Amino acid sequence: MYMINPLIDVAFKKIFGVEANSDILISLLNSIVSEEDQISEIEILNPYNERNFKKDKLSILDVKARNKHTGTYFLVEMQLADELDYHKRGLYGWARVYSNQIGARGRYRDLKRTIAIHILNFTAIDYEKEKGW
C-alpha cells in the first residue's frame, strides 16, 4: 500500500481545505492559536484571492477559512521548499485577504483579524543573523 505524503500540496489541501474535513482543520488551528482565537465552527473559503485588476498577480492559498462566530480569517500554507522570496509571497497572500475585506467605501473598523499560519519544512529566519535588530 502506498501512502501519500500529507505535506504535499494536493494532499494537504484535501485534508485541511475541504468542508467535509472542517473538524480536522479546527483541531489544527486550535492547537496553534491562542485561547482567545479558539474555533468551534469554521467556514472553508475559496483559496483563490481574486484579482482586483487584470494585471494583478494571482494569489492562491492552500487553505482559507473564516471563524463563523468572530469573522476572523485563517490562512494556512504548507511549504516544503525554500523558494526565493517566500516570505514576500506569504505576506502578499495575507495582505490580499485582509485588504479585500472592505470595498472602496468600506470602514477600516470593519476589517477582521486575519491570521496566517505557515508550516515550513525549512528555517525561514536566521536567528543568529537577526540578533542585530
Q: What is the CATH number of the domain that holds 120?
A: 3.40.1350
Burial class (CB in 10 A: 0-12, 13-18, 19+), 9: middle
31 in a domain, yes or no?
yes
110-132 pLDDT per residue, tens: 999 999 999 999 887 776 666 66
Written as nine digits, the cell of 71 is 469573522
The pLDDT of residue 84: 84
The pLDDT of residue 109: 95
100 in a domain, yes or no?
yes
**Residue 75 carries which side chain, given as an amino acid letter?**
L
Higher pLDDT, 68 or 5: 68
Higher pLDDT, 29 or 4: 29
- Residue 56 lies in domain: 9-130
2 in a domain, yes or no?
no
Rounded Cα distance between 62 and 75, Å, is 8
pTM of structure: 0.88
If one counts the domains in the chain, the total is 1
Pairing of strands 114-120, 73-79: parallel
The pLDDT of residue 41: 98
The pLDDT of residue 131: 64
1 in a domain, yes or no?
no
Residue 92's pLDDT band (boundaries 50, 70, 90)?
A: very high
Written as nine digits, the cell of 46 is 475559496
4 in a domain, yes or no?
no
97: nearest Cα among 58, 56, 49, 55: 49
